[in-house]
Structure 1
Amino acid sequence: MLINAELLLQYQRCKRRPFLDTHGDKSQRDTPNELLWKLQQDKIAHQLSILAKLTYHQPDYPYGNWEAGAAATLELMQRGIEYIHKGVLLATYSEGYTLLSRPNLLVKQPGQSCFGDWVYVPASIELGKRPKQEYQVVAAFHAQVLATVQRRRPETALLMLRTKDRSYAVDLVKWMPQMQQILEEFIQVLETPAAPEVFISRQKCNLCHWYSQCYAIAQSQKHLSLLPGVTPIRYTQLQALAITTLESLANTSPTTLENLLGFDSEVAPKLVVQAQSALERRPFILPYPLPTADITFTAPIELYFDIEAQPDLDLDYLLGVLVVNRKANTEQFYSFMAEKPEDEESIWQQFLDLVWQYPEAPIYHFCVYEFDTVKRLAKLYRTPYSSVHPVLNRFVDVYEQLTQSVALPVESYALKAIARWLGFEWRDKEASGAKCIYWYDQWLQTGDRTLLEIIQRYNEDDCRATRSVKDWLVNFVQDEYGTRFA
């Protein structure tokens, strides 16, 4: 059986996925979504931008005929070609397993190998900006297979990242043993008759083509990974105590958990209450909530703020503000859209002009991104301190207030999950922040204005959803404590 770098990469992210990729029914896989397609296109573009600066050779062989590819690559290495793109390296690992390495580049360097007074080092071209562990483990995998082929282990491996200083040298002395351990664990998983247990981690799972299948299993099992706050480390600790159901966690004393790895005196009681909320399907006040005086109130005029961004361009292209005037009983949504990246400064000034029309109004947002972005834009465009600081002082993070005060019977504390639990619905059912990234990219390429309209509707709905959550929180705390807010 062939083990390639992609399987090892995915195993580090999820032990279940490479098992399904190898043994699963491919007809049950999800259709690739737009964001995954965009990431693939971005990775190709990044690779091409690096390759364009090099003179390289590529082995000629029928795709999938790895033996022919390995022979063609070996011939290029024997000739001492400076850069070999998509070379094929094969090495027998153990009975029944062959390692297949296809590094983005093999780079010739001075040294001694079976070829003569030169050696090759593998280089991986990655879309990330940091040398993540998973990248370095894969680089070590390439280095191990290469060592077998050239009969000399390279002293390093290279990562070519999407940063200013693109080249990063991998310490093989450190990462080779870790790679070996991960490889052995992976082979053990492959040899088991059943797929590893599901564990839903949305940040890692959302782009996986097995997500729907795994999520359906998790829901049918009422798996604890669907409970907010249950991380892989905490789940392992709970398993050791035979706490694997909502009922058992809901009935656990927090003191039993608070000294375990991944827990403490705040996490433990919060997680137990979270389980109780999910079990009884109703909200609970947390054991140590924010003081009622710190919970936001209902103001005569309120602003709800949400941003759409394009991370690849380091661009915040849509600043949306919903102005709610409770005295006049009016609502007005303002959409400041940068139709071109160079319009960002203009919409930033339009945003400031609007919020200064309501100098006493609180500015509600969901999560810290909006707060951090206003600081970033102010610095980028050299906005006077006096124009920005009073605005930032009016920011109220609804997410922070809610998660520090209550537990809700939801699987995630993302805005969509909470607002939908409250009965709020987005007008475009399939819209999401991730899809807006794709849509804006398509707008820049095609000029199709309907894409901007969908993004603006989604952004407005985000603002209205934030208002829905904020109003619910104020009313719930008021009902629980009998507190009246001015």
Structure 2
Amino acid sequence: MLINADLLLQYQRCQRRPFLDSRGDRTQRDSPNELLLKLQQDKIAYQKSILANLSYHQPDYPRRDWEAGQAATLELMQRGVEYIHRGILLVSYDEWVNTENENFSASPDYQKYTLLSCPDLLVKHPGQSRFGDWIYLPANLEMGKRPKQEYQVGIAFHAQILAKFQETAPPIGLLQLRTRENTYPVDLLKWTPQMQLILAELIAALESADGAEVFISRQKCNLCHWYSQCYAIAQSQKHLSLLPGVTPVRYKQLQELELTTLESLANTNPSILENLTGFDREVANKLVVQAQAVLQNRPFILPYPLPLETITYTAPIEIYFDIEAQPDLNLNYLLGVLVVNRQTNTEQFYSLLAEKPEDEEIVWRQFLDLVWQYPEAPIYHFCAYEFDTVQRLGKLYQTPNSKVRPVLNRFVDVYEQLTQSVALPIESYALKAIARWLGFEWRDKEASGAKCIYWYDSWLETGDRTLLETIQRYNEDDCRATRNVKDWLVQFFQEEYYLRPA
């Protein structure tokens, strides 16, 4: 079986994923995700833009004939070409263990594994190797903004295999990140031991009967083609990873205390948890109450809620605000504003849309003009993005502080108010999860913020206005969902504090 750096990367993101990719039932996989396809296309385009400025060679070999690919790569290395794109190098895992580290232990069946290195680039560098007075450094072109662990572990994987063939270890590896003009040097002395341990764990997981335990981490799992299968298992087990606040670090601590069910966690004294890694007094109390809320299927006020006087209220005129953005273009193309006038029992939604990226400043000015028509109205939003973006747009377009600061002073983050005061019987505190628990539904069932990114790109390419209309409906529904959540929160606290018997 072949193990490459991609498999190593996937294992670091999800210990179950490589097992499913190699031994799972492929008919159980989800359909390709539109956003994932977009990310893959964006990465290809980014790599092509980097390669366009390099005079590189690529080994020529029949598809999947890895030994021929290796021979072609070694011939290019012998010639001393400056850059080799997608070179192929192979080593058996038993040879890796025996020659690189005599004390390094591995699975009993490691002989059946072959390690395949295929870095984005092999970069010629001064030094001494079997080829002459030059060596090669492994380099990858990554879309990420930061030199993540999984990127650096992958470079260490390529470097150690490369060392066998050039008979000298590269001093560093290289990462070209999307947000950096210069390459990022990877410290191989630091990352090689970590890579060896992760590789051994990966092989042990591949050798296991059922793979690693299911753990749902939505930010990492949502784009995976095994998500539906793993989520169904987690739901059937009532797995604690479905409980908001249970991170991998905290789950490990709970496992050691044998607190792996909702019932056991809900009945735990929070003081038992508060000094553990990943916990403190507030986290411990909040997690126990969260378990109680899910177990009893009802909301609870948290032990340390926001002061009652800071909880939001109902105003005569209220504004609900939501932004749709295209991160790759650093563009906020849709500012949605719902104005609710409770005095006249009327409401109006304004869809301030930049059909072209260069129109962002126009919709920014329109937004300011609109909200200044209601200078006393609180502006409700969900999470910090809207607040941060208004700050950024004010600076970007050199808007006087006297026009921006009073607007920001009216912002009220419904997410912050709710999550610091109440535990709900839900799996996530995303807007969709909360609003759907309250009975609110989006008109387009499959719409999401991530899909809007894909749809806006498609609009720019095709001019299909139905894509814009779908985005606008989704944005309006986000504003209305925020209103539903805010209204529920006000009513809940009124009932808890004012209608409760003395």
- Whether TM exceeds 0.5 here: the answer is yes
- Other-structure match for 1:456: 472
Matches of 2:296 and 2:477 in 1, distance apart?
29
What's 1:420 paired with?
436
For the pair 1:177 / 2:185, whether they are aligned, the reply is no
Deviation at 1:96, TM superposition (A): 2.1
* Aligned residue identity for 1:59: P
C-alpha separation in 1, matches of 2:219 and 2:413:
21
**2:307 and 2:180 mapped to 1: Cα distance?**
46
CA displacement, residues 137-168 of structure 1 (integer Å, 9 cap, x when unaligned): 00100101111111111011110110142411
Determine the structure 1 residue equivalent to 2:21. Answer: 21
Is the contact made by 1:477 and 1:483 (CA closer than 8 Å) also made in structure 2?
Answer: no
Equivalent residue of 1:266, what SS?
helix
State the match for 1:280 in structure 2. 296
Amino acid at match of 2:198: I
The C-alpha deviation readout for 1:247-271, integer Å capped at 9, x for no partner, is 0000000011111111111000110
**Residues 52-451 of structure 1 aligned to structure 2 (within 5 Å):** 52-94=52-94, 95-451=111-467
* CA shift digits 1:295-326 (9 cap, x unpaired): 00000000000000000000000000000000
Deviations 1:439-481 (A, max 9, x none): 0000010111110000000000000000000000000010000
Whether the 8 Å contact between 1:90 and 1:149 is mirrored in structure 2 is: no
Q: Deviations over 1:345-383 (max 9, x none)?
A: 010000000000000000000000000000000000010
Q: Report sequence identity in percent.
A: 78
Contact 1:3 1:99 in 2 (8 A): yes
Contact 1:257 1:268 in 2 (8 A): yes
1:483 to partner: Cα distance? 7.1
Greater CA drift, 372-381 or 190-199: 190-199
> Which has the larger displacement, 408-417 or 59-68?
59-68
Q: Secondary structure at the match of 2:30?
A: coil
Q: Over residues 226-261 of structure 1, what are the superposed CA-to-partner deviations in whole Å (9 max), with x where a residue is unaligned?
A: 000000000000000110100000000001111111
2:35 is equivalent to residue 32 of structure 1: no
Q: Is the 8 A contact 1:274 1:409 kept in 2?
A: yes
**Range with bigger deviation, 20-29 or 393-402:** 20-29
| Structure 1: runs of 5+ lacking an equivalent | none
Equivalents in 2 of 1:193, 1:292: separation in Å? 53
The alpha-carbon distance between structure 1 residues 295 and 483, as it changes in their structure 2 partners (threshold 3 A), is farther
Q: Tell me how far 1:91 sits from its aligned partner.
A: 1.3
Cα distance in 1, alignment partners of residues 432 and 296 from structure 2: 21
Q: Tell me how far apart the structure 2 counterparts of residues 313 and 49 of structure 1 sit (CA, whole Å).
A: 16
CA distance in 2, matches of 1:379, 1:63: 52
1:112–1:152 Cα contact (<8 Å) kept: yes
Evaluate the alpha carbon distance shift between residue 208 and residue 125 of structure 1 in structure 2; reply closer, same or farther with a 3 A threshold.
same
Q: Is the 8 A contact 1:277 1:407 kept in 2?
A: yes
CA contact (8 A) 1:109 1:119 kept: yes
**Deviation sequence 1:21-45 (CA, Å, 0-9, x none):** 1111111111111100000000001
Mapped to 2, the partners of 1:312 and 1:357 lie a distance apart of 33
Provide the C-alpha distance between the structure 1 equivalents of 2:30 and 2:356, rounded to a whole number of angstroms.
Answer: 33
Q: In the aligned structure 1, how far is the partner of 2:63 from the partner of 2:427?
A: 43
What is the CA–CA distance in structure 2 between the aligned matches of 1:164 and 1:154, rounded to whole Å? 22
4+ aligned runs moved over 6 Å, structure 1: none
Which amino acid is 1:129 matched to? K
- How many Å apart are 1:97 and its aligned residue? 1.9
SS in 1 for 2:476: helix
Change (3 A) 1:210 1:130: same
Q: For residues 152 and 190 of structure 1, what CA distance do their matches in structure 2 show?
A: 31
Contact preservation (8 Å) 1:443, 1:452: yes
Amino acid aligned to 1:101: S
Distance 2:407 2:182 in 1: 37
Partner SS state of residue 361, structure 1: coil
Distance 2:474 2:182 in 1: 35
* Deviation string, structure 1 residues 158-195 (Cα, Å, up to 9, x no partner): 10110142411101111111111111111111111111
- Alpha-carbon distance, 1:429 to partner: 0.3
1:283-306 deviations in Å (ceiling 9; x for gaps):
001111111101000000000000
- Structure 2: which amino acid aligns with 1:52? A
Equivalent position amino acid for 1:287 in 2: P
Alignment partners' CA distance in 1, 2:347 and 2:190: 59
SS where residue 73 of structure 1 aligns? Answer: helix
Q: Output the CA distance in 2 between the equivalents of 1:275 and 1:84.
A: 54
1:5 aligns with 2:41: no
Q: What is the alpha-carbon distance in structure 1 between the residues aligned to residue 93 and residue 284 of structure 2? A: 44
Tell me if structure 2 keeps the 8 A contact 1:156–1:172. yes
| Number of residue equivalences | 484
Q: Deviations over 1:175-228 (max 9, x none)?
A: 111111111111111111111110000000001110000000000000000000
Q: 2:237 and 2:462 mapped to 1: Cα distance?
A: 45
User: Aligned partner of 1:300: which letter?
Assistant: P
Contact 1:91 1:149 in 2 (8 A): no
Q: Secondary structure at the match of 1:377?
A: helix
